[in-house]
Each structure stands twice: as C-alpha cells, then as structure tokens.
Amino acid sequence: MARKVQIVCASMGFAFVVVLFGGIIVADMLPPFSPSAGAEEVAAWYQENTNGIRFGMVLMMFGALMTAPWGALLAAHIKKVEGEFTPLTYTFLAATAAGCVAIFMPVMIFSAAAFRPERSAEITQTLNDMAWIPFIMNGPPAITQAIVLGAAILMDKRARPAFPRWAGYYNFWVGFGFLPACILLYFKSGPFAWDGVLSFWLAATVFGTWFITMSILMLRALPDREERTLTDDDELILAAQ
Amino acid sequence: MTVQLDAPAERASSPGGPRQRHLPGEEGLWVFIMGDLLMFGVFFGVLVVSRAKDVAVFAEAQAHLHVELGLLNTVLLLTGSWFVARGMQALKARSPRRTRWFVAALATAVAFASVKVLEYSLLISDGQTPADNDFFMYYFVFTGIHLAHLVIGAVFLTVLVTIARRPQLTVGRFRLAECGAVYWHMVDMLWLVLFPLLYVVR
C-alpha cells in the first residue's frame, strides 16, 4: 500500500501543473493582465471573460490543494534524512501549507471579482490588484520549501540517499528563481512588473518545472515492491475452469 | 589517515588507468552554477533589449555612474579570485600561509560591499533612484542581486577560513572548500559581465 500512496502523492506534481496552468489558460490569464491597465479596461476584461475566469478559478482552487500531498511526501523524505528530531520536516510542512494558501487566497479573490463584473470599475480594479499581487509576489513559502529541501538532500548521508545530490543544488537555484517577483510592488511595467519577464515568466517556468522535476525524482525514489501477505480478500470465489 | 588530494595526478600515474579530469567541488554544484548563470543570462538579455529601445535615456543616465568606483570593484573582485586560487593551492600543499589567502579574499569581499554601498549612497544623494528611469531600475536591481550573491559568497569565504585553520584536512572539507571557491569565482565572473554592460557600454 505504501508504494501506491507514494505514487499518488508524487504524481500530484504533474496533476498540479496541468490543473493550475490549465485553469490559468481557461481564465485567459496567459499572458497576465497588465498592471498598467486602467480601471475601465480591467472591468471590461472581467465582463467579457466572466465564465472563463469563473471556471478557471474552480480548477485552480482544486489545483492549489494538489500541492499538499506532493509536499507531504517530500516532508516524509526529509524526515527520513533527519531521523527522530525533525525541525526541517516541520518547517517544510508549514511552508507547504502556506504555499497552498498562497495560491488558494488569490484564487478566491479572482472568483469574487468575476462574481459581479458589472459593478463599478474601480472596485473591480481593486479586487484585481488584490488577487494578482499576492498571486505573483507569494515567493517566500516556495523559497522556504526549496531551501529546506535542498539542505535536507545535501544532508542525506545514507548509503542509498533518496535523491541525487544535484537535486539539492537545484533546489537552491529554484529558491533564487522566485526572488525577482518579490519587488513587483514598485513596477507597473517592465520585467519586474507582475506580468514581466522576470517576475512572471521566469518564476512561472521555474515553479512548474520544479514540481515536475521533484515528482519524477520521488517516483524514482519509490521503495521496492513488497511481497503481499494474503488476507481473507484474496480467497478464491471461483477457481479457474 | 591521510588521503591523497591531488587525485588527478595520482590517477594519471596509475598503470593503465586513463587520465581523468577532476571536476572541482562536486557534480551537483554545477547544476546550481549553470542555473544561476542562465538566470543572469536572462538579466543581461533583458538589459540589452531595454537599452536598444531607449538608447538616449540609458546613455544620459549612465553618465551619472561612478565608473572609477566600478573599476575599483572589478579590480577588487579579480584580486579576490586570485587570492582564493592561491589559497586553494596553499590548502592542498598544507602551506602554513593558507589561512591568510582566504582572509585576504574575505577582505576584498568586504571592500567590494563597502564601495557598493558608498556608490549607492552617492547616487541617491545625487537624486538618482530606481524609480527615475529604466536604467537606474536595472542598475539597482541587478547590482543588488549581485551584491546578495556576494554576501552569500562572503559567508562561504568565512567557511573557507575555518577549514584552512583546522590542522586536519578531510576529503569532505576539501570538497566543501572547492564548492566555496567555485561559487566565489562565479560571483566574480558575473560582475565581469555586469560591469561593462552597466558602466562601459556605449
């Protein structure tokens, strides 16, 4: 059973990327709506794409929670490295929970914005800012996850470590990749704005490939198949003719 | 227990064995180095493209930079890299002078950071801020990210000093020292691209 649970948890990384980016595309958020747009323009976008945004948000809402089993399996691997005393595991879990919220919360605000798109344009623009800013600026949970995971991978002194050592360094690099988005509050256009090359495109690429890479590595780290002990359920009802 | 550190030479002399090349640090570290270079490559590309769109503004803003301080910092980093390279040789040779090479490198790091802070304060008191135009936005953000790399490098150099001070050198500590040295050379190399792109290009 343990092996199957691990396969499901690890594969959630693939499902997350498909559902999250699928939701973003359905909501017509790729490329992202420019932060330099005026209130009327923002309101018009919500009025024209109302149902696409609503459906995209339902997808992304479920996508947000797909990061939980993915993070839980990584936490379990970190715990194996740490042994009995496990502060890194707890830090990673806390950051994973924060990471769920970091996606979930802006999705809820996008949903509220698309609920009454005919309201006055300034209010829609405010909701739009309240959603986009945390959605792109939310680096710290993922940065914490990446650094803690990277450290745990490099600390793994077992004869058969779960992950290759390059994965540790890779995680440190991933953490760096999320940094440019942290200064988006200062910009309404250019590479550091929330639709910019560095804040959005670089961070989104690093984020998506990180989930996929760690999913593949977790699938490679699966335990060997164990012999099943037979139970009552395995009793034959009909023998072969 | 003593371990032969200059393994390539040893392998080269072993009968029948092909000469293997030694990769400093460990393989995985290079994933980080290449990734970081890739990211800075994107930064450099963004800078060049934005500059081409608005050459006049960039040229005007660039004139406010203190080229001599930038050049001083370039010399400091190059000297620091040389100190680290000499330190690694001294570490391998168990030379009694090994620690002071790394202390000297650490001093160049502190000097670089001080010059950078002086430069920032000169620019800001001169009325040049990141909000003024695209050039200064890039200048402050990219040199700021580089400075953050340099601070991490300085922490690494402190680790190198403590490794050098220990009477015993183990395989693990030497590998860690190599990782630190490689990282420090990367910080140096990134500046060697950043400096001409920001200060010198016309």
> What ipTM does this complex have?
0.72
Helix axes B27-53, B134-165, angle to 10 degrees: 160
Paired tokens of A204: 């989104």
Q: Find all residues with CB under 8 Å of A188, minimum gap 6, and list them.
A: A34, A35, A36
**Interval A30-79: pLDDT, tens:** 889 899 999 999 999 999 999 999 999 999 999 999 999 999 999 999 99
In the block, residue with structure tokens 């003719």: A241
Paired tokens of A14: 């693939």
* pLDDT for residue B27: 86
Instruction: Test A165 with B27 for CB contact under 8 angstroms.
Output: yes
Q: Which residue of B has its CA nearest to A183?
A: B141
Chain A residues in contact with chain B using a Cβ-Cβ cutoff of 8 Å: 164-170, 172-173, 176-177, 179-180, 183, 186-187, 190-192, 197-198, 202
8 A C-beta contact, residue A188 and residue A36: yes
pTM exceeds 0.90: no
Tell me which chain B residues have a C-beta less than 8 angstroms from the C-beta of A197.
42, 46
B134-to-A32, B43, B52, B56 alpha-carbon distances in Å: 21, 13, 12, 12
Instruction: Note the Cα B10 to chain centre separation in Å.
Output: 30
Instruction: Test A165 with B141 for CB contact under 8 angstroms.
Output: no
**Interval A2-20: pLDDT, tens:** 899 999 999 999 999 999 9
Alpha-carbon distance A189 to B119, whole Å? 26
Q: Find all residues with CB under 8 Å of B114, minimum gap 6, and list them.
A: none
Q: Say yes or no: B171 contacts chain A, CB-CB below 8 A.
A: no
Paired tokens of A194: 């929330």
Tell me which chain A residues have a C-beta less than 8 angstroms from the C-beta of B139.
none
Paired tokens of B79: 């000297």
**Interval B24-51: pLDDT, tens:** 888 889 999 999 999 999 999 999 998 8
**Interval B60-85: pLDDT, tens:** 889 999 999 999 999 999 999 999 99
Tell me which chain A residues have a C-beta less than 8 angstroms from the C-beta of B31.
166, 169-170, 173
Q: Distance between the two ends of chain A, CA-based, in angstroms?
A: 31
